[in-house]
Amino acid sequence: MLNDKKTKELCDKIYYFAKKKKGFAEICKELELKDYEVVGLITLMNQQGYNIDFVNGEVLVMKTPQKTQDVYELPYNLEHLKLLLISDTHLASKYDRIDILRYLYAKAEDEGVQHILHAGDFTDGRSNRAEQVYELREPSYEGQIDYCVEKYPHFSGQTYVIQGNHDDWWYKSAGSEIVKSIAKQRDDIVYLGPDVADLKIGNLKIRLFHGSGAGAYAKSYKLQKYLDAIPMDERPDILQTGHIHQSFYMKQDNTHCFQTACLEDQTPYTRSKGLANDKSVWWVDVDFDDKGKIHSITPALETFGDKKIFTRKKRK
Ligand SMILES: [Fe+2]
């Protein structure tokens, strides 16, 4: 990963200039680097999953990965990839945990993570349950967008996100995709669509799925039935699901299934229903062999309590 401090600084600058649509010659001049040095850094960034490329003498940045047959594809050809899987942040709820997000994004930066996957319920949305308004910091569509754009931690990599049923309430009531509107204002958030999306990082096939409806008697039941419905040759290597605010991991056939919990404290609604709001995330290490095939996938669960986390800002 881009852990060498100087290399990372140069790559971040190239990415910044490219997003500002500076030309290749101008970027070389700004960084006082030879053309082949800049091309080398762009190649390195491309290998590590940045949506940046050098085509016909120009540096191109595509915020959303290329989509082939409904699959978003990111290049990647290093031997190790570390991912952070999160879900159900329910932002703009009074019970959201921006402090945990700040801690996680700082840790992701420290550990060279460039890809964070979010399985939906990015916002708390606005339901037709009348009393939900008392649980919100921001009840309006614009208010929730502004809150997320301003408060969501900034990241040198990218967060890939789908919508969940809470985000979809805005779609049902007003035909608006709130996460799409948020992502338009943030270069480090990539919206992959409502409810479900397929992403490929190198040879690693990932499906993000939010889910809907009430939880089953056994928490793995719905996920097992969902996986069973996918033909064996179309199954992902990683299936990440959200919605039920509880975590578990299982491997079924060749698919590693991660149920990601939430990053929201218990609300009056979940308390009244006797539902848990289990706050946790999955860190996932993926190792590839020398042909780029998956050698191993290793999960680690990190859990959080109710106590607020203070993250010190690093001095530059
Ligand atoms: Fe949720």
Give the DSSP per-residue string, 81-135. Answer: EEEEEE----BTBTTB-HHHHHHHHHHHHHTT--EEEE-S--B----S-GGGGGG
DSSP per-residue string spanning the chain: ---SHHHHHHHHHHHHHHHTT--HHHHHHHHT--HHHHHHHHHHHHHTT-SEEEETTEEEE-SSPEEETTEEEE---SSEEEEEEE----BTBTTB-HHHHHHHHHHHHHTT--EEEE-S--B----S-GGGGGGBS--SHHHHHHHHHHHSPP-SSEEEEEE-HHHHHHHHHHS--HHHHHHHT-TTEEEEEESEEEEEETTEEEEEE---SPPPSSTTHHHHHHHHTS-GGG--SEEEE-SSS--EEEEETTEEEEE--BSBPPPHHHHHHT----BEEEEEEEEE-TTS-EEEEEEEEEE--SSPPP-PPPP-
122-180 pLDDT, tens digit each = 999 999 899 999 999 999 999 999 999 999 999 999 999 999 999 999 998 888 999 99
Taking the centre of ligand 1 as the mean of its atom positions, its distance from the CA of residue 210, in whole angstroms, is 9
Taking the centre of ligand 1 as the mean of its atom positions, its distance from the CA of residue 19, in whole angstroms, is 33
pTM of model > 0.85 = yes
Taking the centre of ligand 1 as the mean of its atom positions, its distance from the CA of residue 79, in whole angstroms, is 34
What tokens does 82 get? 């570390």
Taking the centre of ligand 1 as the mean of its atom positions, its distance from the CA of residue 44, in whole angstroms, is 37
Q: What is the rounded CA–CA span in Å between residue 33 and residue 270?
A: 56
Taking the centre of ligand 1 as the mean of its atom positions, its distance from the CA of residue 245, in whole angstroms, is 6
Q: What is the rounded CA–CA span in Å between residue 282 and residue 117?
A: 10
Is 254's pLDDT higher than 70?
yes
Taking the centre of ligand 1 as the mean of its atom positions, its distance from the CA of residue 249, in whole angstroms, is 18
Taking the centre of ligand 1 as the mean of its atom positions, its distance from the CA of residue 63, in whole angstroms, is 26
Q: What is the rounded CA–CA span in Å between residue 125 and residue 138?
A: 9
Q: What is the rounded CA–CA span in Å between residue 298 and residue 180?
A: 31
Is 222's pLDDT higher than 90?
no
Taking the centre of ligand 1 as the mean of its atom positions, its distance from the CA of residue 77, in whole angstroms, is 34
1 — pLDDT class (breaks 50, 70, 90): low
Taking the centre of ligand 1 as the mean of its atom positions, its distance from the CA of residue 49, in whole angstroms, is 28
Q: What is the rounded CA–CA span in Å between residue 182 and residue 191?
A: 9
Taking the centre of ligand 1 as the mean of its atom positions, its distance from the CA of residue 198, in whole angstroms, is 20
Taking the centre of ligand 1 as the mean of its atom positions, its distance from the CA of residue 195, in whole angstroms, is 12
User: What would the mean pLDDT of 232-252 be, rounded to a whole number?
Assistant: 95
β-pairing, 280-288 with 294-303? antiparallel
Taking the centre of ligand 1 as the mean of its atom positions, its distance from the CA of residue 223, in whole angstroms, is 16
Taking the centre of ligand 1 as the mean of its atom positions, its distance from the CA of residue 121, in whole angstroms, is 5
Q: What is the rounded CA–CA span in Å between residue 296 and residue 183?
A: 32
**Measured at the alpha carbon of residue 27, what is the angle toward residues 23 and 29, in degrees to the nearest 5?**
120
Taking the centre of ligand 1 as the mean of its atom positions, its distance from the CA of residue 287, in whole angstroms, is 30
Taking the centre of ligand 1 as the mean of its atom positions, its distance from the CA of residue 88, in whole angstroms, is 5
Taking the centre of ligand 1 as the mean of its atom positions, its distance from the CA of residue 306, in whole angstroms, is 17
User: What is the percent of the chain where pLDDT is above 70?
Assistant: 97
User: Contact at 8 Å (CB) between 189 and 161?
Assistant: yes
User: Contact at 8 Å (CB) between 283 and 302?
Assistant: yes
What tokens does 122 get? 């990015």
pLDDT value at position 119?
A: 98
Taking the centre of ligand 1 as the mean of its atom positions, its distance from the CA of residue 277, in whole angstroms, is 9
258-291 pLDDT, tens digit each = 999 999 999 999 999 888 889 999 999 999 998 8
Is 21's pLDDT higher than 90?
no
Taking the centre of ligand 1 as the mean of its atom positions, its distance from the CA of residue 82, in whole angstroms, is 25
Taking the centre of ligand 1 as the mean of its atom positions, its distance from the CA of residue 211, in whole angstroms, is 9
Among the residue ranges 20-29, 146-155, 219-228, 292-301, the one predicted with the least confidence is 219-228
Taking the centre of ligand 1 as the mean of its atom positions, its distance from the CA of residue 98, in whole angstroms, is 15
Taking the centre of ligand 1 as the mean of its atom positions, its distance from the CA of residue 274, in whole angstroms, is 15
User: Contact at 8 Å (CB) between 189 and 152?
Assistant: yes
Taking the centre of ligand 1 as the mean of its atom positions, its distance from the CA of residue 52, in whole angstroms, is 33
50-68 pLDDT, tens digit each = 888 888 888 988 888 888 8
Q: b vs e for 91-126, b when ≥16 Cβ sit within 10 Å of the residue's Cβ?
A: bbbebbbbebbbbbbbebbeebbbbbbbbbbbbbbb
Is 316's pLDDT higher than 70?
no
β-pairing, 294-303 with 80-86? unpaired
